[in-house]
Structure 1
Amino acid sequence: MRERDWTNAAPEACDLIEAQGVTVRCLAPGGATLISGDLDAAVAVLAPGAPMIGLLEQIPDGPFALRIARDRALLCTQEPLDVSPGWHEIFALSPADDLYVPFEIAGEEAEALRNSCMSAQAGSLSAMTLFGGKECLVTRARTAIRVWIPRSETAELWTRLRVLSGV
């Protein structure tokens, strides 16, 4: 059972992988609220004007929602929202500030690294896809690629990205 002993530590905010042509940075998660049900109504109440983001779409500087499924999204904000969890007539809310850890992949080899981790291409309304064999949310952030990785998978994917980067 030693193969289940994962000895690599999960990355912390500001941890960095630097390799020729690519940089991977672990970012601080900020605020996140999981929404289920009527996504448009929930976003209108919690972050009016925040766009719904799909696979490899550009995220704005302000609040935005990452579509996970037809009736689920992750609302991302600068700081955690002060909301009551549970059912709110037509949508449900769950605090998710520690559910995902964002990684940012930048540099001239960022696309090559992304392509080695996922086969999906832009165009899906959902930002959810397999990245390194794990269900992650993948977008663009200016000239970089942003990947929201489930917290429980960060150590494994960080190690995989180090290996693929040649570090």
Structure 2
Amino acid sequence: MRNLAEKWPATPDFAIATLNKDGVTVRTVSGLNQLLVSGDLTAWSKASGLAGEGVGAGAVASGDTYMVRIARDRLLAVGEQPFPIAAGWHAAGFAVTVMNAGLHVFEIEGPELDRLTARGTALDPGAASPSASILFAGIGVLFYRFGNPGRARLHVDRGLAPYLWEWLEQAQVL
């Protein structure tokens, strides 16, 4: 039987892989706790103690714990420590799904970040959007700035992380 895996490039070791190219640096952020929250986001805020609506595409998130807006009734809570909220349906009207193993997180920074953003998406790099859910390099991601406008994070389905890495390797920013 043919080995179909031979035609695909090897998946990088994301624990140590770093890409430095054309004025941007790309690396994996590991160890983040990610909860997908759906439903009554006001009830979620009361239960979790996290206030706000979450950041959208282009907006800047910061801190050890923050929220990323996906849709009117959906967000991703991201934190360095586990959240004290159990997964599953909550009678207050929201559901929580643990996404730690489902979403891969890339961090991209450098002086050419806006050019790379313009190459990967139709999003205006200087504008913010209410939702962080965008198409980047032809796939759905969550995109937002982190810490400062010169650094961005992309959350992508883990199965698509090797594709996005390859796209970033081959992208011509300049």
* TM-score between both structures, scaled by the size of structure 2: 0.85
Higher CA-based Rg: 2
Q: How many aligned residue pairs are there?
A: 166
Go from structure 1 to structure 2 and tell me whether the alpha carbon gap of 1:14 and 1:61 turns closer, same or farther (over 3 Å shift): farther
The match for 2:107 is: 104
Q: How much does 1:5 deviate? A: 5.3
Give the letter for the 2:152 counterpart.
Answer: I
* TM-score between both structures, scaled by the size of structure 1: 0.88
Overall identity of the aligned pairs, in %: 28
Q: Is the 8 A contact 2:53 2:69 kept in 1?
A: no
Q: Distance in 2 between matches of 1:4 and 1:120?
A: 35
Q: CA RMSD in A?
A: 2.2
The match for 1:116 is: 119
- Runs of 4+ with deviation above 6 angstroms: none
Q: Distance in 2 between matches of 1:111 and 1:11?
A: 26
Q: How much does 1:50 deviate? A: 5.5
Aligned to 2:171, what secondary structure does the other structure show? Answer: helix
Unpaired stretches in structure 2, ≥5 consecutive residues: none
Unpaired stretches in structure 1, ≥5 consecutive residues: none
Q: Is the 8 A contact 1:101 1:150 kept in 2?
A: yes
Deviations 1:89-148 (A, max 9, x none): 211111111221111111111111111111123332110000111110000111212111
Q: How much does 1:72 deviate? A: 1.0
Give the letter for the 1:16 counterpart.
Answer: T
Give the letter for the 1:98 counterpart.
Answer: A
Q: How much does 1:27 deviate? A: 1.1
The match for 1:126 is: 131
The match for 1:17 is: 19
Picking from 57, 63, 66, the partner of 1:64 is: 66
The match for 1:163 is: 170
Q: How much does 1:79 deviate? A: 2.1
